[in-house]
Structure 1
């Protein structure tokens, strides 16, 4: 069952208790492994309570008051280093930047974040999957290979990054997610999976969006001039339009548990929400939905369409993703970044999103600040 309209898709995602997570191969993960199931793959009252406790780490006020200065310093440092080199491969720069920011909020900031980023990246080098099939389109041999290929980077991530952070936070709690999880009785394996979720959310989706948004701006001089001349609120609205048109996750999969208002489908039905098609729904975005326009008159949460999901699994880091993307792009463009090499385009079947690799910028005279 495929849905491609905003209204019907949002209704399904908001239908409490009606569906369960069916993306990211979550249905293959045994429930007995965890007393606290990872937030990305959990559903029900426990999931909602977990989200309520975690939302404060990603609220707009917390990000402004606690993290904006760090995000700006990190972007400035990385771009300054890139300028000294004369050019930069953006998928690498965006990887290191997004993982460094996520690590600060999660509590993994005690080590080498570039090495951490590479460990997380290695975890996702797996055989392709097909979420519409019960076996996810993999043979038993491919599942065995996926488990083997994931185990080494996962264990390296635990021993080099997560375990030292757990020890540090047990000795001295801080205002971060690992300290929060320890306070609520999470075991090391459960903290590992939460760290993997937050670390890879920043790496896999935000990294790709940073590259895509920068590419859009570099290819459109008028749009770039508007962006650089705008204040933060308008720039954020422009980025909301870009992520609506270029969603890093193009399909959301849910399995029907029981029919409910907003979910009139039979139990066990796999529902495929086509995010890219829903995000150009003319009933919501007007007669020219594929244009990048500000002032559509939509609430902030609706401007991005379904790019951050909706309902109980709406991405809690949506404000963070837009803030750090804006910070990095403004820093690059004001430093004079110009397009040197077009990226190679691929598709990650696990997250159902695009991959841009090899986008290279060089640095010329800095663009004029507004």
Structure 2
């Protein structure tokens, strides 16, 4: 039996690839079944903070992540040009190179560097260029850190804890709106640029709606990339053969290695949907109105490939369901993988780079994902 290369233990999946849980929810752990279900159009989002979005005033358009049906498909069609592989290579590669060089320079100044901080700043710089948040006041990373804390609480108005988190959420929105979104919108109302905010202005979005879209892309493009870079580095620091192959490989082969690591260690390991009609999934019929959890961490192992718990670049399943699938498949997958590779290749090409302290793992139960903090890296 092949060794288990996973850093994050996700337990043993149940025997049935599709099953109904005692609480009435449904669970999918099969790869083929999960992919089929995610491609269905008779579902809507049921996770990733949709409870907060549902409280928005009716006149405010929901961010694209929380829209479904024809409106969602049209928006994805109109914005697809920002995320094609060719566009990513031609428009954002130089941004990624400069952002990675800045973080490598920070690391080389001496002393151990916290990789989660370096990777987060990289992700912030790249995502801001794609979105159009390029007229911000200083301190955007600090504002985003405040808005996306390591531990979330539930906002509410019936307890002191709920009031605290409601206040914190409103304060976080306000900081990002006034320091980042409003300056960018002001510049682009007078002079459109080739970025997402300019596109949203042309669609007639208000500044509040643009704020919602920016925060959605921030969560999807910054938080997840930070975790993946740390996870990929952890694997390479603890696997000399993998690291040697990665550093020596050409870019296409390096990207395959990163795809394989993401299949093995998905950041968002649980996707939730609500059915709007009966859906046949394998031998089961999932009723309308059901909450369905797609367990990506288990589904990515349930393929016809040999040794699913091993690292084998070039698998036919690629990243599995780590970027989702169907209408809500992550549009920024090419950006995430390329910026991760550019930074990691520069990092592991440094003489004497080593891990001074391994990260600690905590979990985000809302997405079944991991958070890695405390990895320290030194050079020389």
TM-score greater than 0.5 by the shorter chain: yes
More deviation in 197-206 or 218-227?
A: 197-206
Query: Hey, what does 1:345 align to over in structure 2?
Result: 361
Secondary structure class of the residue paired with 1:2: strand
Deviations 1:59-96 (Å, cap 9, x if unpaired)?
A: 10001111101211110122012201343110000111
How big is the shift at 1:279? 0.7
Trace 1:1-370 onto structure 2 (pairs within 5 A): 1-16=26-41, 18-28=42-52, 29-30=54-55, 32-111=57-136, 115-125=139-149, 140-141=158-159, 143-260=162-279, 262=281, 264-283=285-304, 286-296=305-315, 298=316, 302-336=317-351, 337-364=353-380
Distance in 1, Cα, partners of 2:49 & 2:106: 38
What displacement does 1:43 show? 0.9
CA contact (8 A) 2:156 2:165 kept: no
1:334-355: CA deviation from partner (whole Å, max 9, x where unpaired): 1232100111211123443111
Q: 1:353 to 1:139 in 2, by over 3 A?
A: farther
Corresponding residue number in structure 1 for 2:11: none
Deviation at residue 36 of structure 1 after TM alignment: 2.5
User: d(CA) in 1 for partners of 2:83 and 2:201?
Assistant: 18
Contact 1:340 1:360 in 2 (8 A): yes
The alignment partner of 2:285 has SS state of coil
Task: Decide whether the 8 Å contact of 2:271 with 2:293 is kept in 1.
Answer: yes
236-245 vs 148-157, which deviates more? 148-157
2: distance between equivalents of 1:92 and 1:105? Answer: 20
Moved more, 101-110 or 332-341: 332-341
Distance 1:91 1:148, change over 3 A: same
- Relative to its length, the structure with more helix (as a share) is 1
Q: What is the rounded CA distance, in whole Å, between the counterparts of 1:44 and 1:282 in structure 2? A: 29
Pairwise CA distance, 1:8: 0.8
**CA contact 1:126–1:149 (8 Å) conserved in 2:** no
Consecutive unaligned residues in structure 2, runs of 5 or more: 1-25
Give the TM-score normalised by the residue count of structure 2.
0.87
Question: Which residue in the other structure is 2:9 paired with?
Answer: none
Determine the C-alpha separation between the residues in 2 that align with 1:6 and 1:137.
35
Superimposed CA distance per residue, residues 271-290 of structure 1 (whole angstroms, 9 cap, x where no aligned partner): 0110100011133xx13011
Change (3 A) 1:303 1:6: same
Cα separation, partners in 2 of 1:94 and 1:346, compared to 1, 3 Å: same
Bigger CA drift: 118-127 or 334-343? 118-127
Structure 1 unmatched runs, 5+: 130-135, 365-370
Aligned residue-pair number: 350
Aligned equivalents of 1:276, 1:287: Cα separation in 2: 17
